[in-house]
Amino acid sequence: SSDSAPAQCPMREANIGGGGTRNRDWWANDLQTTILRQHQPVSNPLGKDFDYAAAFKSLDYEGVKKDLHKLMTDSQEWWPADFGHYGGLFVRMAWHSAGTYRVSDGRGGGGAGQQRFAPLNSWPDNVSLDKARRLLWPIKQKYGDKISWADLMLLTGNVALESMGVKTFGFAGGRPDTWEADESVYWGGETTWLGNDVRYSQGHRGIEGKGVVDSDEHKRDYKDIHTRDLEKPLAAAHMGLIYVNPEGPDGVPDPVAAGRDIRTTFGRMAMNDEETVALIAGGHAFGKTHGAGPSENIGKEPEDAPLEQQGLGWQNKLGRGNGPDTITSGLEVIWTATPNKWSNKYLEYLFKYEWELTKSPAGANQWVAKTNDEFIPDAYDPNKKHKPRMLTTDLALRFDPAFEKISRRYLEHPEELHDAFSRAWFKLLHRDMGPRSRWLGPEIPSEVLIWEDPIPPQTGPVIDDKDVAVLKEKILATGIQSQELITTAWASAASFRGSDKRGGANGARIRLEPQKKWEVNNPQQLAQVLGALEKVQEEFNSSASGGKKVSLADVIVLAGTAAVEKAAGVPVTFTPGRTDASQEQTDIQSFEHLEPVVDGFRNYGHGTSRVKTEQFLLDKANQLNLSIPEMVVLVGGLRVLNANWDGSSHGVFTTTPGKLTPDFFTNLLDMGIAWKATSSDQELYEGTDRKSGQKKWTATRHDLVLGAHAELRAVAEVYAEAGNEEKFKKDFAAAWTKVMDLDRFDVALDSTQA
Ligand code: HEM
């Protein structure tokens, strides 16, 4: 059942087909290098040349919408629609698709259709959404590759809202599907579904002024739902939930404590209090919850269900197993008298009635209005009526003082709720899509929103090859050291994260708050370099003919690229056309989430008690969409270019720093050198000549992992081999260009760089 420990794989003993005890079973701490080879052409049935944007442009968008509208009330016998309308179910499907997003690492979200794959397809919170997706199959089949599952699931939620009377803010397509589970996302360390014993640490209030905390007390504080802290980057309160426990924190029916959890969870989804209230009050204007009986009635989740169920899970033994007998969350609530129609009734009832704690038929904590009026319709029996009911988390919108204020305002001004809900819903669905240049379709709103991290469009002619040559010369004549140009360009471009496609060199936000202050960017040095580059830019722009302008964003990247070219002696590709964003276009608080804690490429930062330094390196490489060879060549190349964030010589295994040579690799693999840790936390190392005992190099874990890990070492060997010097330079240049262009969704680049 869904709340038990993960089942032992029944194929453990298989002796073919990938069976047997695996590396991960033997060595739990092995670096998960697989996260750097996900979503490769080999697993994509559409082939590597498939262009989703082009396919989407040929989609009969209005046709899809018409078919979706029809589907809303086309109740199927195998999964009947509550109240004759699938709207609530589809809104929940879209919300759960997008709601896994968390702003601290940008992962999760609906941008890749991951709800189709484990673990999300089998999360206890996603019960019955297997049915929702299967209801959509005829439409997916009809329109084929022109609309991805990722887009279709979210568009369906949007159309569901429209069919129930919401004026939506718009919709953008443009989410290509992935074809396998994304293993790069940390969902928590718990090994039981709905567990939360790893993600919370002791709240601050719990230890204040207490001196020594004995272990029992620690335990109590650890569980204190009023003070506990949720581990980053997580947003959800339990393993296998999208958000918080609907019964209240850890099942305790305390609406105020639930408010605290909601604020944390929705905050980490990038929502403020107003957006949070609007989303919950707007979402629960629709549909119902399902808890017709105890969860013992439902079978295995999709990943563990018998073959004949064909990917569906949670088979229900109660009654007919669907319709009025449906078991999903185990709660049994119908919020309003018009569950298929947009209204303000949710907030009206929330404040009109007092609420009494009761239990669902499945035994879960929920609330019922203290009234004798029974006027809420039944989902199937026209002769049955119910009292209004609410979840503990719904009551939080009234009993949390800050939420209450907002809720009352929305109660008194329904049009404000409508607008706030539409906007927050649009943000929820599009937050992880990256810049507007990726958005597709006829319903893109014209209003530009701050959370898009807007970048002004390129106007006027783009600089040409001749201009680039002139600019390079001027940059190299500024007297700024090459390694400073390189670290600045890297700092600018490597702020990108592939998860939600934020950051990157475009916009030149490195010159703005908060990026210019980040320690990893070496603010003092950065200011000097930017000052010199701004001068180059101004000179060019004041003298260029034909109204040509170069952006600082382009100059920053070009500066690093010119310096790499000089150090390498091979040409390095540069694609101009970036523009500069303003401080007003930059939400400082939101950008703070992009600050790297660790950046192994610049030898910045190190591990924690929970994450090893080299795991951070891998994570960063994953966010930069790098393969293992690209990560290895970049680390080794950046070291000999002397590009450490603080100018230290850790990992600079060369006597000619600043020249692009394979020296990092030849020296790393040199058996004449012996390594030993020089710090008790095993973060710093010293390499000495075995014969003379003389100290030769210093290194961090970021450096030495390239020689210690078998797969990384195999690649390092290639770059240390005789005859591969040119290959090393070319591969470094290509990987460099890839990083510089990670956010160039505005131009069509070579598909290997996309
Ligand atoms: C249903 C909890 C926020 C939309 C449900 C269900 C639960 C729940 C337990 C019942 C699932 C079932 O048994 O079928 C919560 C909690 C929330 C939250 C704890 C946050 C504190 C939201 C948001 C939206 C939303 C933000 C959308 C914007 C819906 C809809 C349904 C639903 C439409 C009805 C599904 C149906 O009719 O089948 N919610 N929810 N919820 N939720 Fe939420």
Helix axes 523-543, 482-493, angle to 10 degrees: 90
Distance 184 CA to ligand 1 centre (A): 27
Band of the pLDDT at 688, cuts 50, 70, 90? very high
Contact present, 396 and 262 (Cβ < 8 Å): yes
Band of the pLDDT at 533, cuts 50, 70, 90? very high
Q: Distance between CA 71 and CA 83 in Å, rounded?
A: 14
Residue 88 CA: nearest ligand 1 atom is: 37
pLDDT in tens, 13-59: 678 888 888 888 898 877 999 999 999 999 999 999 999 999 999 99
Output 243-248 pairs: Cβ under 8 A, ≥24 positions apart.
243/99, 243/125, 243/269, 244/393, 245/393, 246/289, 246/329, 246/331, 246/364, 246/391, 246/392, 246/393, 247/331, 247/364, 247/365, 247/366, 247/391, 247/392, 248/365, 248/392, 248/393
Q: Is ligand 1 within 6 A of the CB of residue 277?
A: no
ipTM of the complex: 1.00
Site to probe by mutation for ligand 1, drawn from 241, 245, 280 as the one with most ligand atoms within 8 Å of Cβ, is: 280
* Structure tokens given for 681: 């936390």
Q: Distance between CA 424 and CA 281 in Å, rounded?
A: 12
Segment 538-551 shows an average pLDDT of 92
Kindly name the residue from 39, 69, 85, 96 that is annotated as catalytic: 96
Tell the residue nearest (CA) to atom 14 of ligand 1.
289
What is the pLDDT, as a whole number, of residue 683?
A: 97
Residue 262 CA: nearest ligand 1 atom is: 21
What is the pLDDT, as a whole number, of residue 222?
A: 44
Q: In whole angstroms, what separates CA 385 from the centre of its chain? A: 42
| Amino acid code (one letter) for 9 | C
Q: Is ligand 1 within 6 A of the CB of residue 86?
A: no
Segment 703-715 shows an average pLDDT of 98
Residues 6+ apart with CB under 8 A from 496: 502, 503, 504, 505, 623, 624, 739, 742, 743
Residue 623 backbone class (left: φ over 0; alpha: ψ -120 to 50; beta: rest):
alpha
Segment 617-646 shows an average pLDDT of 98
What is the pLDDT, as a whole number, of residue 9?
A: 54
Contact present, 403 and 264 (Cβ < 8 Å): no
* Structure tokens given for 705: 């992992």
The dihedral built from the CA positions of residue 540, 542, 543 and 547, taken in this order, carries a sign that is positive
Q: Is ligand 1 within 6 A of the CB of residue 639?
A: no
Distance 298 CA to ligand 1 centre (A): 20
CA atoms in the 13 A half-sphere facing the CB of 532? 21
Residue 157 above 80 pLDDT?
yes
Q: Distance between CA 507 and CA 496 in Å, rounded?
A: 12
pLDDT in tens, 47-72: 999 999 999 999 999 999 999 999 99
Q: Which helix (H) or strand (E) holds 677?
A: strand 673-677
Distance 284 CA to ligand 1 centre (A): 6
Residue 499 above 90 pLDDT?
yes
pTM over 0.90: yes
What is the pLDDT, as a whole number, of residue 594?
A: 97
Q: What is the DSSP string of 42-102?
A: GG-TT-TT--HHHHHHTS-HHHHHHHHHHHHT--BTTBPPGGG--HHHHHHHHHHHHTT--
Site to probe by mutation for ligand 1, drawn from 75, 79, 91 as the one with most ligand atoms within 8 Å of Cβ, is: 91
Neighbours of 522 (CB within 10 A): 21
Distance 146 CA to ligand 1 centre (A): 30
Site to probe by mutation for ligand 1, drawn from 79, 90, 92 as the one with most ligand atoms within 8 Å of Cβ, is: 92
Residue 421 CA: nearest ligand 1 atom is: 28
In 234-344, alpha helices (H)? 255-268, 273-283
Segment 619-642 shows an average pLDDT of 98
Band of the pLDDT at 357, cuts 50, 70, 90? very high
pLDDT in tens, 439-497: 999 999 999 999 999 999 999 999 999 999 999 999 999 999 999 999 999 999 999 99
Tell the residue nearest (CA) to atom 32 of ligand 1.
92
Q: In whole angstroms, what separates CA 558 from the centre of its chain? A: 29
Q: Distance between CA 444 and CA 432 in Å, rounded?
A: 15
Tell the residue nearest (CA) to atom 7 of ligand 1.
289
Q: Is ligand 1 within 6 A of the CB of residue 421?
A: no
Q: Is ligand 1 within 6 A of the CB of residue 91?
A: yes
Q: Is ligand 1 within 6 A of the CB of residue 549?
A: no
Q: Is ligand 1 within 6 A of the CB of residue 279?
A: yes
Is 96 an annotated catalytic residue? yes
